[in-house]
Amino acid sequence: MIDILRQVAEGVTYKTVLQQQMAKHNRIKTRAANDMIRSYLNDTIVALVELRNWLNNLGGIAADRQIIATYMQEGNFTDAISLAAMLPDLYNLQGEALEEHNDYMNMLNLELTLHSEDRKLQELTSSEIEMLNAIAQANRGSSAAKAKNILEAFYGQHFCNCPEIDGTQSFKSGIIDLDAMAEAFGLSLTVKPNPAKYWAAFDYTLPGDETSAILIITDATGKQIESFQLQGKQGQKVWDTRSAPAGIYNYTLQVTGFIKTGIFDC
């Protein structure tokens, strides 16, 4: 409380102080959850109930989908499908995110159907193969990757995600999507609310084993406005935007080997 009063006296609102403290404790909680999850997954016998508890502590749609996977592993399809059906409302999925979720649901229901009919992946019907092709061609998220793997492994199809280059270019001169590469290694960064009226919360996950990064905020002219040192595999950084002039801002997350960028309004 004394620390809060001291910072308030220096011009920082109590809300900002509390948000900063909450972000710090959330980083600690997230790190502990990740440590426990890693321990359970590396154990000789996976304790699925305890694993689900720590995934729930971790939070987020990725953790919920891991929980669903543990239910599927147990053959508890009722709870798996029930939780999966709740995800759009829990995370306000819209647009492409909702379409990706529909692909995810179709893959879960396919797995349920194969289990109930005692069929294997190499025994799909023509309509099921057609559905996998649609998911693969849409190329949205992990469901598309799974559909492609099934079609390549059992049905002789091949999918190439190589960069398109003309005959005058070498392979090295092709354009590489750095954001897509960063996401493939687990890097993510989102900002909310957008537009940000009073504050902007940056939720991040760092790639691989990285636990530190730098978040830089610049205005439309490229002038650096703020710079934050991020610590922890996952976490949240809150920026008080009340003193920032209205306009468009750029944010850049710099971590070893990768850069993630984006824009938001104030």
Do 124 and 191 have their domain in common?
A: no
Condensed to tens digits (0 to 9), the pLDDT of residues 99-118 reads 999 999 999 999 999 999 99
* φ and ψ at residue 223, rounded to 5 degrees: -75, 130
The reply to whether omega before 207 is within 30° of 0 (cis) is no
Cα–Cα distance between 114 and 120 in angstroms, integer? 6
pLDDT recorded at residue 195: 85
Residue 164 in domain: no
Has residue 78 got a pLDDT over 90? yes
Percent of the chain with pLDDT over 70: 85
Same domain, 48 and 120: yes
Say whether pLDDT at 177 is over 70. Answer: no
| Residue 183 shares a structural domain with residue 140 | no
Q: Please report, for the domain that includes residue 231, its CATH number.
A: 2.60.40.230
pLDDT at site 6: 63
Give me the number of domains the chain comprises.
Answer: 2
Q: Is residue 86 part of a domain?
A: yes
In a domain, 172, yes or no: no
What CATH number should be reported for the domain holding residue 134?
1.25.40
Given 99, 122, 154, the domain boundary residue is 154
Q: Where among 107, 138, 154 does a domain terminate?
A: 154
pLDDT at position 180 over 80:
no
Q: Does some domain include residue 22?
A: yes
Q: 214 pLDDT band (50/70/90 cuts)?
A: very high
Do the Cβ atoms of 54 and 36 come closer than 8 Å? yes
- Distance, in Å, from the CA atom of 148 to the CA atom of 137, rounded to the nearest integer, reads 9
Distant-in-sequence, close-in-space partners of 141: CB < 8 Å, separation ≥ 6: 100, 103, 104
What pLDDT, on the 0 to 100 scale, is given for residue 118? 94
Q: Are residues 103 and 185 in the same domain?
A: no
Compute the average pLDDT of residues 62-88.
92
List pLDDT tens digits, range 26-35.
778 778 777 7
Q: Distance (Å, rounded) from C-alpha 31 to C-alpha 235?
A: 9
pLDDT in tens, 119-139: 999 999 999 999 999 999 998
Range of the domain at 107: 14-154
Q: To the nearest whole number, what is the mean pLDDT of the chain? A: 83
pLDDT score of 141: 84
Q: Is residue 3 part of a domain?
A: no
In a domain, 90, yes or no: yes
Residue pair 140/97 in contact (Cβ under 8 Å)? The answer is no
Residue 51, pLDDT > 70, answer yes
Q: Evaluate if residue 157 carries a pLDDT over 80.
A: yes
Q: How far is 215 from 255, CA to CA, in rounded Å?
A: 9
Confidence of residue 172 (pLDDT cuts 50, 70, 90): low
**Highest mean pLDDT of the ranges 58-72, 124-138, 161-175:** 124-138
